[in-house]
Amino acid sequence: MLEPPLSRARQASLGAIGLLVFAGLWSAAALAGSSSRDFLPAPWDVVARFVHLLHDPFAGYTLPEHLLSSLQRFGLGFATAVAVGLPLGLLMARFAWLDRLVSPAFDAVRFVAPIAWVPFAALWFGTGIGGPVLIIFAGAFPPVLINTYRGARHVEPRFLEAAQTLGASHWRVMTQVLLPAALPSIVAGLRVSAGLGWQSLVGAELIVASSGVGYLMVKGQAAVSTATVMSGMVAIGLVGLLIDSALRRAQRFIESRHGR
């Protein structure tokens, strides 16, 4: 028998207990002295370094400035993936000939890990904005296209037939029938896409960037400052959580509007 779902209060309490246990084990390992605090800082060392980076520059910029640079790259790469993947997914679902034309090339490319594009990005764009944007696009584009295509393909054929009977053009069929019906699937794909795009960005900044959170972490490693590296990791996790939370709220709202 399945257990009943946990209440929000119980979920929050269990999450807090898990974080406390993790922090306790981490603190005990740091205080044991088996490793230098330069290599294994205590949690409070990371918090202090994080606060310090908020107002004191490291690797040329403060932590908020590095985050802003990362978010600009992410926004451009993610927006490009949505701008290409969403209409292409609708068109592929609508026109079988386009599906057969695009699918073989897409299936061949989508299994290439975004980080594998780093050498090409470095050769083509150097440390400019184009390299990270290309890598973010490579990570974010497949989930947008796949979920848009699947959502549009599952639209009831009678709706399409009714629209065609009423004389709707291809454009109106896609924008007024396929797109609204596929919207829950599209938003679910955007959550996956945003997560992969954000992860791809950090990987790109480790190699082909001169600013950003990934770049800050590389410089922290070079300076043997584990607290700086961990501060970057904390910033990455917090921003990723905020992005996913916003998209999760949008997904719940859209699913409630569609009666799911």
pLDDT grade, residue 120 (50/70/90)? Answer: confident
Contact between residue 206 and residue 122 where contact means Cβ atoms under 8 Å apart? no
Collapsing DSSP to helix, strand or coil, 37 comes out as coil
Place of tokens 């209440």: 7
Six-digit token string for 131: 């390299």
Positions of E strands within 80-180: none
CA–CA gap between residue 204 and residue 119 (Å, rounded): 10
Q: Which residue has the tokens 């040329």?
A: 60
- All structural domains of the chain: 1-34 (no CATH), 39-257 (1.10.3720.10)
Mean pLDDT over residues 147-165, rounded? 75
213-242: pLDDT as tens digits: 988 998 998 888 899 999 999 999 999 899
Q: Token pair 């938003």 is at which residue?
A: 187
Buried b / exposed e along 133-147 (16+ C-beta atoms within 10 A): bbbbbbbbbbbbbbb
Q: What pLDDT, in 10s, does the model give residues 25-83?
A: 888 888 887 677 778 888 889 999 999 999 999 988 999 999 999 999 999 999 999 99
Q: Does residue 1 surpass a pLDDT of 50?
A: no
What is the tens place of the pLDDT at every residue in 157-199? 666 666 666 666 767 777 777 777 788 888 889 999 999 999 8
Task: Note the pTM of the prediction, 2 decimals.
Answer: 0.82
Across all residues in the chain, what is the average pLDDT? 84
